[in-house]
Amino acid sequence: MRTRAILRSKSGLVGLIAVVVIAVAAVLAPVVARHDPFEQNLRASLGPAGRQHWMGTDDLGRDTFARVLFGARVSLMIGAGAVGLGLLVGVPLGLASGYFGGTFDAVAMRIADLLLAFPRILMAILIVAVYGVGINSLLVAIAVPDIPIFARLARASTLSIIQLDYVAAGRALGASDTRIMARHVLPNLVGPVTVQATFSVAAAILIAGGLSFLGLGVRPPTPEWGSMLAQARTYMRTAPHLITYPGLALAATVLGINLLGDALRQAYDPRFRGRLGGA
Partner 1 sequence: MLAYVASRLIQTALTLVGISILVFLAVHLTPGDPAVIIGGNEASDEEIRIIRQRLGLDQPLPVQYLRWVSHVLRGDLGRSHRAGREVYDELATTFPVSLALAAGGLALAVLVGIPLGIVAAVHRDSLVDLAVMGLSVAGMSVPVFWLALLMILLFALRLEWLPSSGWGTWQHFLLPAVSVSLATLALLARMTRAMMVEVLLEDYVRTARAKGLPERLVRYRHALRTVLPPVVTVIGLRFGLLVGGAVITETVFAVPGLGRLVVLAVQYRDFPTIQAGVLLIAVCISFINLGMDVLYGVVDPRVRYV
| Rounded-to-integer distance, Cα 263 and Cα 205, Å | 19
Q: How far is the CB of 114 from partner 1 (least distance, A)?
A: 4
CA dihedral 166, 172, 174, 179 (to 10 degrees): 20
Give the shortest CB-255-to-partner 1 separation in angstroms: 4
Environment class of residue 150 by beta-carbon count within 10 Å: exposed (0-12), middle (13-18) or buried (19+)? buried
Q: Which is nearer to partner 1, 24 or 114 (CB)?
A: 114
- Would you tell me the crossing angle of helices 64-100 and 225-232 to the nearest 10 degrees? 130
Shortest Cβ 267–partner 1 spacing (Å): 17
Q: How far is the CB of 99 from partner 1 (least distance, A)?
A: 24
Collapsing DSSP to helix, strand or coil, 130 comes out as helix
For residue 57, give the DSSP letter.
B
Closer by beta carbon to partner 1, 83 or else 232: 232
Shortest separation between residue 191's beta carbon and partner 1, angstroms: 20
Binding site for partner 1 (CB under 8 A): 11, 110-111, 113-114, 117-122, 125-126, 128-131, 202, 206, 209-210, 213-216, 226, 229-230, 232-233, 236-237, 240, 243, 247, 250-251, 254-255, 258-259, 262, 273-279
Q: How far apart are CA 240 and CA 163, in angstroms?
A: 58
Task: Give the three-class secondary structure for 63.
Answer: strand
Least distance between partner 1 and beta carbon 108 (Å): 13
Report the C-alpha gap between 249 and 55 in whole angstroms: 12
Distances (CA, A) of 57 to 25, 180, 217, 219, 266: 19, 57, 23, 19, 42
Nearer to partner 1, 103 or 178 (CB): 103
